[in-house]
Amino acid sequence: MTNAKAPSKSQYRQHLLAQRRALTPDQMRQAARRVVTLVWRLPVLARSRRLALYLPVSGELDCTPVISTAWRRGREVFLPVLAGTELRFAPFAPDSQLHDNRFGIPEPACSADEWRSAREMDVIFAPLVGFDASGYRLGMGGGYYDRTLAFLALRANFRRPHFIGLAYAFQQISAVPHQKHDVQLEAVVTDAGCFSCRSGPQQE
């Protein structure tokens, strides 16, 4: 009896991206509404002032409702910007001007001296293609979050910044193929509930 070979990262990515592209606009809106409610129930949000989020592209879970709520609640919002092989985080306000980076992802059009490091964020919310129960994240393959947050792997406990994924429930898979340098998520918020990567799913 032969054991079936586990899918590769590229195979998982191809399958999950196809599922994401098949979502209707209404399905995406409903998921975003569910996620924004769950995000603001996270205990870490009560004491977090600087939040790094993202502007969705290619069907990523839409976190713009989270951004709007953060502004209303007086939190500082930042978006990732490319800085060599890593990410920095640029302030993002309702009147911020944007431009696309080389991957076609919107970034705030501000001076580099306004950028902040990952260590200065309280929470970093990241998009993803897939995730597993251990908090391993399947992204688009660039490795930017892993390089930027490599210092988190040296910690015994979760401390600032908290690294949290935002996803559709169908993006959870049994096991993301990973390497030693891959940084694990602390939690994932999906349209089906909040999933702690330390203690399992917590349905709402």
> Quick check: is 2 in a domain?
no
Is 1 a domain residue?
Answer: no
Reply yes or no on whether the pLDDT at 201 is more than 70.
Answer: no
User: 199 pLDDT exceeds 80?
Assistant: no
Q: What are residue 142's phi and psi, to 5 degrees?
A: -80, -25
Residue at 3 is within a domain:
no
pLDDT for residue 93: 97
- Whether residue 157 is contained in a domain is answered as yes
4-47 pLDDT tens trace: 577 788 899 999 999 999 999 999 999 999 999 999 999 999 99
- The answer to whether residue 43 is domain-embedded is yes
Residue found by looking up tokens 């169908």 in the block: 170
Query: What is this structure's pTM?
Result: 0.91
Instruction: Give domain status of residue 184, yes or no.
Output: yes
CATH number for the domain spanning 112: value is: 3.40.50.10420
DSSP 148-200: HTGGGGG-SS--SSEEEEEE-GGGB-S-----TTPPPPSEEEETTEEEETTTE
CA distance 88 to 30: 30
pLDDT at 157: 56
Residue-wise pLDDT for 37-93, tens only, equals 999 999 999 999 999 999 999 999 999 999 999 999 999 999 999 999 999 999 999
Beta strands in 4-96 (DSSP E): 50-52, 76-83, 86-91
Residue 165 forms beta bridges with which residues? 126, 188
Mean pLDDT of the chain: 90
Question: So what's the pLDDT on residue 155?
Answer: 62
Q: What's the gap between Cα 33 and its chain centre?
A: 16
With respect to residue 149, please indicate whether it lies within any of the assigned structural domains. Answer: yes
Q: Is residue 4 part of a domain?
A: no
Reduced to 3 states (helix: H, G, I; strand: E, B; else coil), residue 93 is coil
Q: Domain residues for 160? A: 9-202
Question: Looking at residues 155-183, what average pLDDT do you find?
Answer: 85
**How far is it, in rounded angstroms, from Cα 10 to Cα 138?**
10
Report how many domains make up the chain: 1
Start-to-end Cα distance in the chain: 42
Tokens at residue 165, please? 């994924």
CB 13 within 8 A of CB 130: yes
